[in-house]
Structure 1
Amino acid sequence: MKFIQVISILLIIITTSCDSSNSETIIAKNRLGLLTPTTQVNEINTILKNDSIAEFDLESRLNRVNEIEVFNKEGKVSIVIEPNYQNDSLFTINEIQILDPKYKTKKGLSVDSNFKTIYENYKIDNIQNSINSVILSIDEIGAYIVIDKKHLPSKLKFDSEVKIEANQIPNEAPFKYFWLRFEEPSL
């Protein structure tokens, strides 16, 4: 009996430690690692202590910080955070642009993925056709991903009015931008 309890405890510890190693880089709905919609901007330095945060002043630019750049250990921009202004003193996170492939969903979607990864693993809730890009909304993870139209068939590249379907986007089309939007918590 004690042997089974010891094994069970060891399995829990191993499972928990494996989950926490990925928790800092996981992309999920309303979550990027340890960042959530309730994370205040002044907490980012503490939460992302292994990264370098670009200096910013919350009181500058007419009391608005446009974006906050977070750099990885190699000195490259890893994520760009756009603050959400709820009142004069509470700054939380509105959106995050993901630039570092270390951030991934449980299904392996990252900034280095291609359209095939989305098509095979997620429901695409909306496809918007713009002048130079196609914007894919994936509500399951609260993301929108931009693909440059130069990767589309020529009949779709130059017409921003045509309705583009998921099966018209080549599997190998890379991402131009990967954004995660946070929904404000309901009070």
Structure 2
Amino acid sequence: MKKIVQFGFLLSLIFLSSCQESQNEFKIGQNQVGQIKAQTEVHELESIFSQDSIVKPDLKNRFRAVDNDYYVYQNGELALKIQPRKAQDSTSYISEIQILNSAYKTDKGLNASSTFKDLYENYKINFIQNSLKNVIVDLKDSGIYVVIDKKHLPSSLKYDSSSKISKTQIPDDAPFKYFWFSFTEEK
């Protein structure tokens, strides 16, 4: 009987640790996106995403190699677009990641499918930058920034790239066009 209880306890521990591991697999946190951390080098991506498909830049033909990004496909869908700090360097750290898979989320639930309301209710905005076709919203102390298409803004702001835009001018239901994470370079 004692061995059965011990075996059941051991199975419970294994189950709980696997649940914790799968939660961390998609967690966006301080200098972390899933299993990618600030000190992750490009050559480590293959082992991190061993169950997924990775499309690497074509470095053999320098005239065609315009794009130095790595693309991670999970279950056939593009999940992450990874930009190294240095092109053509397997020991380079990761600079930024565009997150396309909504499974990747912060502790407060922010993900690629969130809206502007989800963002401002849970995070402090560092700044809002107006550009020609988009608005870039940078979150304070998180490494996260999102791009919102100006087509969701009032018509008075859609075609004006010089106006200062405040958070009250962005509709609550404005979806993210792009969801990015930028790693802080550790010294």
TM-score using structure 1 length: 0.84
Alpha-carbon distance change, 65 to 86 in structure 1, aligned in 2, over 3 angstroms:
closer
Deviates more, 1:64-73 or 1:110-119: 64-73
Give the equivalent residue in structure 2 for 1:119. 120
CA–CA separation in structure 1 for the residues paired with 2:119 and 2:87: 32
Q: Which moved more, 1:33-42 or 1:47-56?
A: 47-56
Is the contact made by 1:98 and 1:180 (CA closer than 8 Å) also made in structure 2?
Answer: yes
Counterpart residue number, 1:47: 48
In the TM superposition, 1:136-175 aligns within 5 A as 136-175=137-176
Distance 1:53 1:87 in 2: 16
Distance 1:154 1:43, change over 3 A: same
Q: Report % sequence identity.
A: 46
TM-score by length of 2: 0.84
Asked if 1:23 is matched to 2:24, the reply is: yes
Q: Are the aligned partners of 1:65 and 1:83 in contact in 2 as well (CA < 8 Å)?
A: no
Residue 125 and residue 14 in structure 1: after superposition, are their counterparts in 2 closer, same or farther (change >3 A)? farther
1:20 is displaced (CA, Å) by 2.0
Residue 73 (structure 2) aligns with: 71
Aligned-pair distance for 1:59? 6.0
Shift in CA distance, 88/171, structure 1 to aligned 2, threshold 3 Å: closer
Query: What is the deviation of 1:93?
Result: 0.6
Indicate the SS of the match to 1:146: strand
Task: Report the CA distance between 1:17 and its aligned residue.
Answer: 4.5
Matched positions, count: 178
Unaligned runs of 5+ in 2: 1-5
2:85 is paired with a residue whose SS is: strand
| Ranges of 4+ aligned residues in structure 1 off by more than 4 Å | 9-17, 57-60, 62-65, 86-89
Shift of 1:51: 1.3
Q: Distance in 2 between matches of 1:141 and 1:125?
A: 10
RMSD (CA atoms) = 2.6
Quickly say closer, same or farther: Cα 1:112–1:26, change in 2 above 3 A. Answer: same
Residue equivalent to 1:32: 33
